[in-house]
Amino acid sequence: MGKFHFVNQDTLEHLIATNKATLEGSYLSIVESFQSYHLTPAVKIISCESSTSDPLRILHKFIPLTTLENVGAEIYINSIILKSHSYLIDLGFICDANNSISPSYADSQLHHS
């Protein structure tokens, strides 16, 4: 099983603006290494703002936005409220190399065979 990575929105925008990566739908391709990743909108939990502990045990986790929405979390620009606890978050994407062939790459391989 491959390792998942998290890339925040600012980093993603910088990679694209500096031509170090391309984005096609939900697929990110790193130009120099020829690696490709499927992106899932997510958050990284930075800290618990409503408690000195982590009552939900989610600190430093990457959590897909759909999962948070499904459990009733209120999602804001840089925070979430979940089960009456407020957490500081970083918006971004979970990068999955296991599901990483972009449609245009797959199509180009079919036409070159």
Does 89 score more than 80 pLDDT? yes
**Stretch 83-90: mean pLDDT, rounded?**
95
Contact present, 98 and 2 (Cβ < 8 Å): yes
Tokens 């790193």 found at = 30
**pLDDT band at 1; cut points 50, 70, 90:** very low
Which residues face 24 on adjacent strands? Answer: 27
| Each residue's pLDDT tens digit, 50-63 | 998 899 999 999 99
The mean pLDDT value for 38-42 works out to 94
Model pTM score: 0.79
The mean pLDDT value for 51-77 works out to: 93
